[in-house]
Amino acid sequence: MLVYALRRVLATIPVMAVVALFVFSLLYFAPGDPAAIIAGDQATPEQIAHIRASLGLDRPFLVRFGEWSWHILHGDLGTSIFTNLPVSHMIAQRLEPTFSLMLLTLILSLVVAIPMGVVAAWRQGSWIDRLIMVVAVFGFSTPVFVIGYLLAYVFALQLDWLPVQGYTPIAEGFWPFLQSLILPAVTLGGIYIALIARITRASMLEVLSQDYVRTARAKGLGERAVLFVHALKNAAVPIVTVAGLGVALLIGGAVVTESVFAIPGLGRLTVDAILRRDYPVIQGVVLLFSFVYVLVNLLVDLLYSLFDPRIRY
Amino acid sequence: MTVDVPLEVFAAPVLPEILPPPRRRGWLGGFLLRHPGMAAGIALLSIMLVIAVFAPLLATVDPTALAPVRRLRPPSAHYWFGTDMLGRDIYSRVMYGARVSLTVGFAVAALASATGTLIGLLAGFVRWSDALIMRVMDGVMSIPPILLAIALMALTRGSVQNVIIAITISEIPRVARLVRGVVLSLREQPYVEAAIACGTRLPTIIWRHILPNTLAPLTVQATYICASAMITEAILSFIGAGTPPTIPSWGNIMAEGRALWQIKPFIVFFPAVFLSLTVLAVNLVGDGLRDALDPRLAKRL
Amino acid sequence: MLRRDVLKSAAALAASGALAAPAIGRAAEARVLRFVPQSNLPNLDPIWGTQYVVRNAALLVWDTLYGVDSHLQPQPQMCEGHEVSADGLLWRFTLRPGLKFHDDTQVLPRDVIASLQRWMQRDTMGQLIHARLDGMDAPDDRSFRIRLSRPFSKMLFALGKSNAALACIMPERIAKTDGFTQINEYIGSGPMRFRKDEWVPGSKAVFERFEGYLPRPEPASWMAGGKRMYFDRIEWQIIPDGGTASAALQNGEIDWWETPLPDLVPLLRRQRGVQVDVADPLGNIGVFRMNHLWPPFNDERARRAVLMAADQADFMHAVVGDDAQMWKPLPSFFTPGTPLSTTEGGAALQGKRDYAAAKKLLADSGYNGEKVVMLVGTDLSITKGQGDVAADMLGRIGMNVDYVAIDWGSVGARRARKEAPDKGGWNIFLTWLAGADCANPAPYTALRTNGAKAWFGWPDSAPIEQLIADWYDAPDLAAEQQRIAALNRASMEFATFLPTGFFLAYQAWRSNVSGIVKAPFPVFWDVRKS
C-alpha cells in the first residue's frame, strides 16, 4: 500500500512537468513583447532591447523554462502585465471565494446526486428512475449560465430570498457567507449532480446484481441497509473516481458562475485576464487549477483502498 | 465538458470480445421504438441540421444587419424572436447561430477523433513512444478542458477556426487514451498475434483488426465530444474569448443579451433553448449509441 | 469523529453569525458606501492614466491646488489665494495651513513644485505652461511661485480643471517619478486614503477616510469647497455585467451605480427604494477616434469619408436606447448648451448619409481593402454599442474591419501604442468625453492637433493649433465665439475625430442615500446614508 502510494505520488511529477511546460510555452509564444509592454509607449528600440536583455528574454527556451520553473517552485508566479502586482498575490486574494464555492458545490452535489442515483437504481425502470435520468440528461445539457440566470431571476429578484451577486467572506459570519453562495453552488452543481447521479445509478446496478446483495437481502436485512450500507459501499470506487474527474467540470463551471454572480474569485480573474491578454495571470491560474485537479485525483486514487478492501497493491 | 468522465466508466468494458449484434431487417426501427430517447435525439438533431443548412431559406434576414431604430422589440408576428439592442433580428441570428454551434461541435468531434486515433495508434504500436506520449496526454488531461481552451484562445484571435482548434486540442487526449487501450488489449489477442506472425503489414492489421474494434467506443466518445464542444464554444463566446462578437453564435447572442435579462429575457432565452436542445439531442444520441453498441449495458438501462 | 466536529463547529458558526450580524450591521452600514464605478480601476496614477475611472478615484485620494465649481470656475482648494503680477508673468500662491499627506507629513511647496513638474510632462494644459515656464521656487514653507516668459490666462483653470490629467499634489519623493512611469505608492492629500492592501483589480477598490484631512469652510461644489466625508469607507465594487449590477441595486446590495444601462432605467424607476437621475447635465460626447499616423486615416480624405458615412442617430440609439430625450445629434465638436457651442462647418454630419460618395472618397485616399484595426471595449455598453454600429457603418463603405474585442482597460493600454496597426497598434478606438471637457478648447485634449504630443491618434495640424492658440488670446466672449466657430469648421474639415453624438447618462442610487449631485464625475463628499 505504502509503495503504491509513493509510486502514485511520484507519477504526478511528470504530469505536472508537462503542465508546466505547456503553461510556460503559453507565455513564450504569446504575441506581444513583454519588454515593450514594460518599457511603455515612449520607449526607443534600444531601451526595449536593453530591457529584454536585462530580463533575460533573449536566452534560449530551455534556459528560460528552467529558471521560470525554479521561480514557480519558490512560489513566484511572475508579475501581472496589467496591474503590475505579483500574480501569486492576485491569486491569493481570490482563493477563498472560489474554493468555498467549489467545496460547497461538491458537498451539495454529492448529498443530492448519490441518493438520486441509488433510488434510480433501486427502482430501475420505474417512472421515478426515468424521471431522475431525464433530469440528469437535462442537467448535462443546459449551459451553466442559463441555469444561473434562471435561478437568480426566481430566487433573488422575484422571491428576494437570496442575494443576486457578490460574496461575503466567511470571516463576516457563516450565515451571510452561505447565503451568498447558495445560488452559485446550485448553478454550478447542475452538471455535476447529473454526472454523479448517472454514475451512481450505473455502478449501483452493477452491484445490485451481485450475489452478496442477494445474500444480504435473503438474510432479511432492511432494504435501506442493503442499499446504503452494502451496495453503495461496494459501488463507491467508480463513484469516487468520477467525482474526482468531475472536478474539472467544477473548475470550468466556476469560471462562468463567478461571472454571472459577480463573485471575486479565480474564475473572474481568469475571464478578466483573458480579455486583457494578461498572460502571467492566465499561466498562474491554469497552473494552480491543474495542480489542484491532479491533487484531487491523486487523493481519490489513494482513497480507493479505504473504500474497497478488495483492492490490494 | 461532459466528455471525459462518463465514457471511461461506461464504455471501458465494451472491449473487445463484444461485437455489435448481427444486423437484422428492421433492426434500426425496432431499436428506435425501444429507445424513445434516441429517437427524440435523432429527430431534434435533424431539425437543428436542417436549420443550420437552410438558414437563409427559413424566412431569415441578414443576421448582422443593424437597425438601431427598431431595437429591443419583443417577439411578434414580424420579429418572431424579437430584436436585440442594435435592432438585429434575433430569429435570424439564432437560425444562423445553429451553423456556428454545429460546425464547432462536429468539426471538433471529427478532428479530435481522427487526431486522437492517430496518436493512440502510435502509442499502442510504437512501444518506445508510448510512455512519452501518454505522459504528455496525462499532462494535457490534467488541465481542465475549459481552462485549456481559454488559455489557447488567449494566444490567438477569436475566430470559429481558432475555437475549433482550441477545443480539439483539449479533447484529443481522451480519444488517444481510448484508442491506445483498445490497441494494447487487441495486440495480445491470438488472432492479431497470428496475423503479425504471418507477416501481415501493419497498416493492414490496423485496418482489418484494430479500427473496426475502436469504432464502437469511438463513435460514442465522439458524440459526447460533440456535445461538450458546443457547450464549450458557448462558454468561450459568453466570456468574450470565443467567436468574435460580429459573428452570430448562440454564445455571443447570450453574452450580448445578458445585461438585459431582467427586462428582455427573450434575448437570452431563445439561443439558450436552442443550445440546450441541441446539446440534449446529441447527448440522447450518444446515450442511445452507447446502449446499442454495448448490449450488456443496454440490458440494464 | 472528525465529521461530527466539523458539523458542530459549522452549526456554532451559523448560530453566532445569525445573532451577531444584524446587531453590528446597522450602525456600521451607514458608514460604508458601496459604489459601482463605470469600469474596473486598472491603475491609480492620475498623471499616467487618463481614463475617467482613474480620474474619479484620484479625486478621492488627491487634492488639487484649485478646483472647478459647478459653473466650471476655478476656486481655491489647497491654496489660500494667489497674487499675479501686472504683466501676468509672476504667480505667487499661498498654501492653506495644516495640509497633510496621508503619511501625516506636512504638504510643503517642494511637494507642490515636484507634482506640478510631473503633471506638466503629461497634461496638455500643463505642457502649455511648461512651454512658457521660466521656473518655480518656494520663498517660504507656505508659498510657491511660478515664473513665466509669456502670460497664461488660464492658469487657475489649468490647476483646477476636472479632466485628466488632474494637477494632483503628491509628496515630492513620489512626484519625482517620471511621468511616463506609473507610480506605485498612493499617498495623497485628499479626503480619502487608498487601501492598496485591499485593492483587488477587477473586483474592488477600497478608500478609507483620512482623519487628517482639513476641509475648506465653504459648502462643496464639484471640485471646490469643503470636501466633507460622511463615510469611513467607500468600497468600489466592480460589476462588469449590467444586469447583475442592476439586480444588486434593486436588492440593496450596492448603494450607488455610476452608469446604469439606459435600457434598465425604466425598470429601476419602478423599484421602490431606487432613485434614478441624469448624472451630468453637460452630458457626454461619443468619440470615434482615428489614428492619424497610419493608413488609411493618415489621409484626410479617408477620415472625411467616415464623417460622411456616420449616422449619429444609429450611434446614439446604440448608446442610450430608445429615449429620445437622452441624446441629440451633434454636428459639432463642442458641448451643446454651453456659451461657446457652435455648429459652424458641421454639415458633413447632417442630412442623409451618402455611402456611395464616402466609398468614392475612401478609394481616392488610396484605401484598397486593407485591414483596419478597431479596438472595442466590450465590457462597457457605451463603447460596445458604438463599436458594433461603427463596424456596420465601416462595412457599408467597404472597409475591412478587424474588430478587436477586449476590455476597456486594455483599450486604454493599447491605444497608447504608436506602432503599426498590425504590430500591436491600432486604427480606431471608441470612447466618450464628458461634456464638461468639451465646452472650450482649454480642457479639450482630444481636439488638440499637436502631433506626437497630442492625445492618442496623434493628429497633426499647425493651422488648427494656431486657431486654438488664438482662442486663448481672445479678448471677450464674442471674439471667443467667433474663433471657436472657425476652429470647429477647421476641425471638421480636418476630421480630427468623429463625434458620434451628444448623450446624457444616468446614475442610480438607493433612496436612503442623500446628497448625490449632478456632475461630470461622481462627487462623494456631502453624500450621506441613513
**C333 close to C433: Cβ distance less than 8 angstroms:** no
pLDDT band at C18 (very low <50, low <70, confident <90, very high): very low
According to DSSP, the β-strands at C204-209 and C192-194 are antiparallel
B179: closest CA of chain A, how far (Å): 19
Q: What is the pLDDT of residue B161?
A: 93
Kindly give, in sequence order, each residue whose CB lies less than 8 Å from that of residue C293, ignoring residues fewer than 6 positions away: C418, C425, C457, C458
State the cell numbers at C227: 470636501
Task: Tell whether B62 is covered by a domain.
Answer: no
B294 confidence band (pLDDT: 50, 70, 90) = low
Residue A289 has pLDDT above 50, yes or no: yes
* A chain contacts of residue B284, beta-carbon cutoff 8 Å: 137
Work out the minimum CA distance from C243 to partner chain A, whole angstroms: 9
Paired strand residues for C529: C513
Cβ of C243 and B64 within 8 Å?
Answer: no
Per-residue pLDDT band for C15 (boundaries 50, 70, 90) equals very low
**Torsion angle in degrees (nearest 10) through CA of B250, B251, B254, B256:** -110
- Residue A98 CA to residue A81 CA, distance in Å, equals 23
CB-based contact C243 B259, cutoff 8 Å: yes
Q: Does the pLDDT at position C265 exceed 70?
A: yes
* Res A36: pLDDT: 64
Residue B45 CA neighbour count, 13 Å, CB half = 22
For the sheet containing C498-503, what is the strand order? C327-328, C498-503, C284-290, C428-434, C371-377, C400-406
* pLDDT, mean of residues C320-338: 91
- Span C403-418, average pLDDT: 84
The three grid cell numbers given for residue C10, joined into one nine-digit string: 459549522
CA C83 to chain centre: 30
Asked if B148 lies within 8 A of A238 by C-beta distance, the reply is: no
How far from the centroid of its chain's Cα atoms is residue C427's Cα? Answer: 22
Q: Does the beta-carbon distance from A144 to B154 stay under 8 Å?
A: no
Among B10, B237, B239, most A C-beta atoms within 10 A, so best to mutate, is B239
Q: Has residue B126 got a pLDDT over 90? A: no
Residue of B nearest to A134 (CA): B37
Q: Edge-to-edge strand order for the sheet containing C192-194? A: C192-194, C204-209, C233-237, C32-36, C256-257, C506-510, C274-278
* Cβ burial, residue B121 (10 Å; 0-12/13-18/19+): buried
Judge whether B132 is closer than 8 Å to chain C, CB to CB. Answer: no
- More confident site: A1 or A249: A249
What residue segments make up the domains of chain C, in order of their start? 62-172, 284-503
Greatest alpha-carbon span in chain B: 76
What distance in Å separates residue A177's CA from the closest CA in chain B? 25
Residue C10 pLDDT greater than 60, yes or no:
no
**Cell numbers of A36, please?**
515593450
Test C313 with B263 for CB contact under 8 angstroms: no
Of A140, A153, A158, A188, which to mutate for an interface test with B (greatest number of B Cβ within 10 Å)? A140
Tell whether B154 lies on the interface with C, counting CB pairs under 8 A.
no
User: Could you give the angle at the alpha carbon of B104 between the alpha carbons of B99 and B105, nearest 5°?
Assistant: 100
Chain C CB contacts of B72 below 8 Å: 263, 321-322
Contact A270, A285 (CB under 8 A): yes
Considering only CB atoms, A156 lies closest to which of C16, C184, C251, namely: C251
Grid look-up 473504500 returns A307
Nearest to B244 among C318, C385, C405 (CB): C405
Per-residue pLDDT at B7: 40
Contacts of C10 in chain A (CB under 8 A): 174
pLDDT of C224 reads: 94
8 Å CB contact of A173 and C20: yes
Written as nine digits, the cell of B79 is: 420579429
Q: Do B245 and C376 touch (CB under 8 A)?
A: yes
| Per-residue confidence (pLDDT) for residue C6, from 0 to 100 | 40
Q: Render pLDDT for C119-132 as a digit per residue (tens, 0 to 9).
A: 998 888 998 899 99
Give the pLDDT confidence score for residue C486 in this predicted structure: 95
Contacts of A93 in chain C (CB under 8 A): 200
Q: Are C307 and C524 in contact (CB under 8 A)?
A: no
The shortest C-alpha distance from A29 to chain C (Å) reads 15
Our CA-based measurement puts residue B65 at a distance from the nearest CA of chain C, in whole angstroms, of 7
Residue B154 is nearest to which of A199, A242, A279, comparing CB atoms? A279
Contact A262/B at CB under 8 A: no
CA distances from C15 to A167, A177, A179, B132, C508 (A): 19, 13, 14, 54, 36
Which residues of chain B make contact with C314, given a CB cutoff of 8 A?
66, 68
A175 Cβ neighbours under 8 A, 6+ residues apart: C14, C17, C18, C21
Chain C residues inside the 8 Å CB shell of A174: 10, 13-14, 16-17
Query: Is B262 in contact with C261 (Cβ distance < 8 A)?
Result: no
Q: Is C317 within 8 Å of B87 when comparing Cβ atoms? A: yes
* The predicted structure's pLDDT at residue C473: 85
Q: Do the chains contact at B239 and A255, CB–CB below 8 Å?
A: yes
Decide if pLDDT at A309 tops 70. Answer: no
* Chain A neighbours, 3+ Cβ pairs < 8 A: B, C
pLDDT of C175 over the 50 cut: yes
- State the alpha helices, DSSP H only, in A41-173: 45-55, 61-73, 87-122, 127-141, 144-151
Confidence of residue C16 (pLDDT cuts 50, 70, 90): very low
With contacts defined as CB-CB under 8 Å, which chain B residues touch C378? 240, 245
Identify the CATH number of the domain in which residue B214 sits. Answer: 1.10.3720.10
Q: Sort out which chain A residues have CB atoms less than 8 A from C54's CB and list them.
A: none
Residue C2 has pLDDT above 60, yes or no: no
Strand partners, C434: C284
Cβ atoms of B187 and B213 within 8 Å: the answer is: no
User: How much is the pLDDT for C381?
Assistant: 86
Round the average pLDDT of chain C to a whole number and report it: 89
Average pLDDT score over residue span B207-220: 85
Residues of B in contact with C317 (CB under 8 A): 68-69, 71, 87
Q: Which of A130-134, B36-40, B171-175 has maximum average pLDDT?
A: B171-175
- Binary contact (C385, B85; C-beta < 8 A): yes
**Which chain A residues are within 8 Å of B143, Cβ to Cβ?**
19, 22, 286, 289-290, 293
pLDDT category, B261, cuts 50, 70, 90? confident
> pLDDT by residue (tens digit) across C95-153?
999 999 999 999 999 999 999 999 998 888 998 899 999 999 999 999 999 999 999 98
State the pLDDT confidence band at B26, using cuts at 50, 70 and 90: low
Instruction: Please indicate whether, in this complex, the C-beta atoms of A146 and B135 are within 8 angstroms of each other.
Output: no
What kind of architecture, by CATH, is found in domain C284-503?
Answer: Roll (3.10)
What's the pTM? 0.84
Asked whether the beta carbons of A299 and A307 are under 8 A apart, the reply is no
Looking at per-residue pLDDT, the higher value among A172 and A40 belongs to A172
Lowest mean pLDDT, pick from A266-280, C24-38, C387-401, C441-455: C24-38
For residue C472, give how far its alpha carbon lies from the nearest alpha carbon of chain A (Å): 29
Asked if A270 reaches chain B (Cβ–Cβ under 8 Å), the answer is yes
| Interface predicted TM-score (ipTM) of this complex, two decimals | 0.85
- The pLDDT mean for chain B works out to 83
Give the pLDDT confidence score for residue A64 in this predicted structure.
84
Is pLDDT at A174 greater than 50 in this prediction? Answer: yes
Domain count, chain B: 1
Q: Are C345 and C489 in contact (CB under 8 A)?
A: yes
Look at C424 and A166 and tell me if their CB atoms are within 8 Å: no
Examine the pLDDT at B273 and tell me if it is beyond 80.
Answer: yes
Q: What is the pLDDT of residue A44?
A: 61
In this model, does residue B12 exceed pLDDT 50? no
Q: How confident is the model at residue B289 (pLDDT cuts 50, 70, 90)?
A: confident
Dist. CA B189–CA B201, nearest whole Å: 17
Residue B225 to residue C243: CA distance in whole angstroms = 32
* The dihedral sign for the CA sequence A142, A143, A144, A146: negative
| Phi, psi (degrees; rounded to nearest 5) at C82 | -145, 160
Question: Mean per-residue pLDDT for C340-355?
Answer: 90
Which of C392, C394, C426 best probes binding to B when mutated, by most B CB atoms within 10 angstroms? C392
Rounded CA separation A2/A10 (Å): 12
Task: Say if C9 is an interface residue toward chain A (CB within 8 Å).
Answer: no
Where residue C12 falls among pLDDT bands split at 50, 70, 90?
A: very low
**Which pLDDT score, from 0 to 100, does residue A215 have?**
76
H helical segments located in chain B: 4-10, 27-34, 36-53, 90-125, 127-141, 145-155, 160-187, 190-197, 202-205, 211-238, 250-257, 265-293, 295-300
Residues C266, B263: C-beta atoms closer than 8 Å: yes
Q: Which residues of C42-80 are buried (b: 16+ CB within 10 A; e: fewer)?
A: bbbbbbbbbbbbbbbbbbbbbbbbbbbbbebebbbbbbe
CB-nearest to A143 from B143, B147, B272 is: B272
What is the structure's pLDDT at C201? 84
> Collapsing DSSP states into helix, strand and coil, what is residue C358?
helix
Q: Which domain holds residue B46?
A: 35-50+84-298
- List pLDDT tens digits, range C227-264: 999 999 999 999 888 888 888 898 888 999 999 988 89
The fold adopted by the segment(s) C62-172 is Dipeptide-binding Protein; domain 1 (3.90.76)
B36-53 helix and B27-34 helix, angle to the nearest 10 degrees: 110
How close is the nearest chain C Cα to the Cα of B255, in Å?
10
Q: How far is CA A168 from CA A89, A172, A264, A268, C492, in A?
A: 20, 7, 10, 16, 52
Residues in CB range of A199: below 8 A, 6 or more apart: A117, A238, A239, A242, B5, B6, B9
pLDDT at B293 over 90: no
Q: Is the pLDDT of residue B198 over 90?
A: no
pLDDT band at residue B299 using 50, 70 and 90 as cut-offs: very low
pLDDT score, position B10: 38
Size of interface A-B (CB pairs under 8 A): 166
Q: What is the pLDDT of residue C3?
A: 40
Contacts of A255 in chain B (CB under 8 A): 146-147, 150, 235, 239
Q: Looking at A35-39, A247-251, A278-282, B40-44, which range is the least confident one?
A: A35-39
Q: Which chains touch C (3 or more CB pairs under 8 A)?
A: A, B
pLDDT value, residue B233: 93
Q: What is the mean pLDDT of residues B168-182?
A: 91
Q: How confident is the model at residue C443 (pLDDT cuts 50, 70, 90)?
A: confident
Which residue among C263, C318, C376 places its CB closest to the CB of B68?
A: C318
Whether A260 sits inside 8 A of C184 (CB atoms) is: no
How distant is the Cα of C53 from the closest Cα of chain A, in angstroms? 15
Residues with Cβ within 8 Å of B56's Cβ and at least 6 positions away in sequence, in order, are: none
Count the neighbouring beta carbons within 10 Å of the beta carbon of residue C197: 8
C-contacting residues of B 256-295, CB under 8 Å? 258-264
In sequence order, what are the residues at sequence separation of 6 or more whose Cβ sits closer than 8 angstroms to the Cβ of residue C217? C226
The band of B106, judged by pLDDT with boundaries at 50, 70 and 90, is very high
